[in-house]
Amino acid sequence: MKIIIIGCGTVGAGICTQIAKERHDITVIDDREQAVSDISNTCDVIGVVGSGIDLSVLRKAGVETADLVISVTPSDEVNLLSCLSARKLGARNTIARVGNPDYAEMLQLVKQDMALAMTVNPELSAAKKIYRMLRYPSAAKVETFYRGKVELVEFAVTANSPFCNKSLFDLRSSLKVNFLVCGVLREGEMIIPSGPFVLKEGDIIGVTASDEELNRLFKAAKIFKQPAKNIIIVGGGAITYHLEGMLKKSKINSTIIESDKSRCYELTDTYGSTVVCDDGTKQEVLLSEGIERTDAFLALADRDEQNVIMSMYAQSKKVPKIITLIHKLSYVDFLTASDLQSIVTPKSITATDILQYVRALSDDADSEIETLHKIMDGNAEAIEFSIKQDIEGVTDIPLKDLRPRSGILIACLIRGRKVVIPSGLDAIHKGDTVLIVTTSDKQLTNIKDIIK
């Protein structure tokens, strides 16, 4: 497909890096010549210097024949105008980054008139991910499928864990919990395990289970933590703003530490939040606000370096759940070797949301991608397919008789309200929702892609 990305900031660069791997024809636009040069040198893309609302720049980028235009500059207004102009000039589909919550209601009214395929909000997406982590503090990371009925969680195998030095066969029979280990990250290598596979100390494992089974699994694994009731958040930016609305509905008590007075007033006026106007990087401030007694600590300040230092301090105080906001992907790779496992990167989340839409554009009618997540530090994908009709070679065949490609695992089937952790005797049927985990180099756009 021909894709134009407007905005080469952190979000745009993340999207470009992800989509470029899919071998699409990509052109990037930014009014900063250095930003265009940097991303053109990093990815195999064409760069155009100029404004996304300049019609001559859009024409130079070839907008008339574009399959998709993605506008993710820091300005909501520029993004909306760019997408509107792109559609008028002939682009087939448009996606706009819109972060201002005041625009949410307006967009519901005019989205169809503007012919927007979707809008993305990195801060809102990050807030939703953090909220899921607070629901299941026992897990380092949580991804949700089929409207919350199925969860894919990641956690580390420790020396005293009942998972350690056990085969998957033994675990399934001894724990009496309906779950499936769908991925193992061992020393940087991603493995799709089979029944005889033996887990070792230090492994990061990805597990699928129904919402009801998860806490039973955590208790069996001796890593169960009570859901957070009282939390401390350092940083009162857009992510915290969105997160506060979710926390209020779930009756989780939060104390926000923020040094910017205008942000403090906004959070207090909007949500009635408890806000301390001070520097959250100071140990005495964190101690006075009860970091040693809190259920969870969220480092959501603007600077990555501050978030890492505060998280490590919270770790030294044995806070049960620590969530760290990181913007630079290079820092994520560095922190993978540390004990800070619950890391949130907004631009990666947004890139994955857009990648899901890009895959769906080239999807066939017999199945649809409903959800796509990058998992296990980006080493694998978990994709939710909705099966629309009977598919030769896929449906109504026992899984033991399927011949999937290397690096493919059928992790879960959802049939009506029933969640099925599949065995070899189960089969995919028309109307099912299927969760696939893959490490394959071949991109999956259709359920037929899983077979040889």
List the domains of the chain with CATH numbers: 2-120 (3.40.50.720), 131-217 (3.30.70.1450), 229-319 (3.40.50.720), 354-450 (3.30.70.1450)
Q: How far is CA 181 from CA 69, 80, 192, 267, 325, in A?
A: 38, 43, 9, 41, 27
183 touches 206 (CB < 8 A): yes
Residue 337's pLDDT band (cuts 50, 70, 90): low
- Picking from 72, 77, 63, the residue whose alpha carbon sits closest to that of residue 7 is 72
Identify which has the larger pLDDT, 331 or 16.
Answer: 16
What's the pTM value of the predicted model, to 2 decimals?
0.88
pLDDT at residue number 363: 61
pLDDT at 105 over 80: no
In tens, the pLDDT along 376-419 reads 988 999 999 999 999 999 999 999 999 888 999 999 999 988 99
Q: How far is CA 51 from CA 8, 46, 55, in A?
A: 11, 15, 9
In tens, the pLDDT along 244-281 reads 999 998 889 999 999 999 999 999 999 998 999 999 99
Sign of the torsion angle spanned by Cα atoms 361, 362, 367, 369: negative
pLDDT at 338 over 70: no
Which residues make beta-bridge pairs with 95? 70, 118
Identify which has the larger pLDDT, 377 or 426.
Answer: 426
315 touches 291 (CB < 8 A): no
Residue 321's pLDDT band (cuts 50, 70, 90): very high
Q: Please provide the average confidence, as pLDDT, over all residues in the chain.
A: 91
What are the φ and ψ backbone dihedral angles of 368, each rounded to 5 degrees? -135, 145
Three-state secondary structure readout of the chain: CEEEEECCCHHHHHHHHHHHCCCCEEEEEECCHHHHHHHHHHCCCEEEECCCCCHHHHHHCCHHHCCEEEECCCCHHHHHHHHHHHHHHCCCEEEEECCCHHHHHHHHHHCCCCCCCEEECHHHHHHHHHHHHHHCCCCCEEEEEHHHCEEEEEEECCCCCCCCCCEHHHHHHHHCCCEEEEEEEECCEEECCCCCCECCCCCEEEEEEEHHHHHHHHHHCCCCCCCCCEEEEECCCHHHHHHHHHHHHHCCEEEEEECCHHHHHHHHHHHCCEEEECCCCCHHHHHHCCCCCCCEEEECCCCHHHHHHHHHHHHHCCCCEEEEECCCHHHHHHHCCCCCCCEECHHHHHHHHHHHHHHHHCCCCCEEEEEEEEECCCCEEEEEEEECCCCCCCECCEHHHCCECCCEEEEEEEECCEEECCCCCCEECCCCEEEEEECCCCCCCCHHHHEC
**Max Cα separation, the chain?**
66
Q: How far is CA 383 from CA 314, 372, 374, in A?
A: 34, 4, 9
The average pLDDT across 156-167 equals 92
Those residues with Cβ within 8 angstroms of residue 75's Cβ, 6 or more apart along the chain or in another chain? none
Residue 28's pLDDT band (cuts 50, 70, 90): very high
Pairing verdict, β 68-71 and 93-97: parallel
Residue 174's pLDDT band (cuts 50, 70, 90): confident
